Amino acid sequence: MLHDQSPEIWQEVPYNSIEGFFGEYLPDTVRIYTKIGYTQSSGRQEAAIIESQNGDIRYALVVFANNPKFSEFDSKLLPEISKLVYDKMVEAKQN
């Protein structure tokens, strides 16, 4: 369930668990334990535990995007949601 965030690793894999999913826009130092669901007919689903490198930030994120539009290879819905949540968690930790 742990996925390597290093672009030189995941970008070489045609159907990887990063591109189009929670990890795509996160820093490559983040640890992400994820289970994805990729179905062409009904959308994308993902559940993950996301943790900063030092462990100060740790949370679970689950999204069910049950619309065929989100199954498209270029869909950025899940990475955008994940980046937004991660940035808000970092911001809250700093305040």
Please answer whether residues 10 and 26 qualify as being in contact, where contact means their C-beta atoms are separated by less than 8 angstroms. no
Residue 75 inside a domain? The answer is yes
Q: Which residue in this structure is represented by tokens 């049950």? A: 66
Residue 77 located in a structural domain: yes
Amino acid at 6: S
Of 67 and 61, the structure prediction assigns the larger pLDDT to 61
Q: What is the model's pTM? A: 0.80
Give the residue numbers spanning the domain of 81.
2-90
82 belongs to a structural domain: yes
Domain count, the chain: 1
Residue 83 lies in a domain: yes
12-25 pLDDT, tens digit per residue, is: 776 667 788 898 99
pLDDT at 38 over 60: no
67 in a structural domain: yes
95 within domain boundaries: no
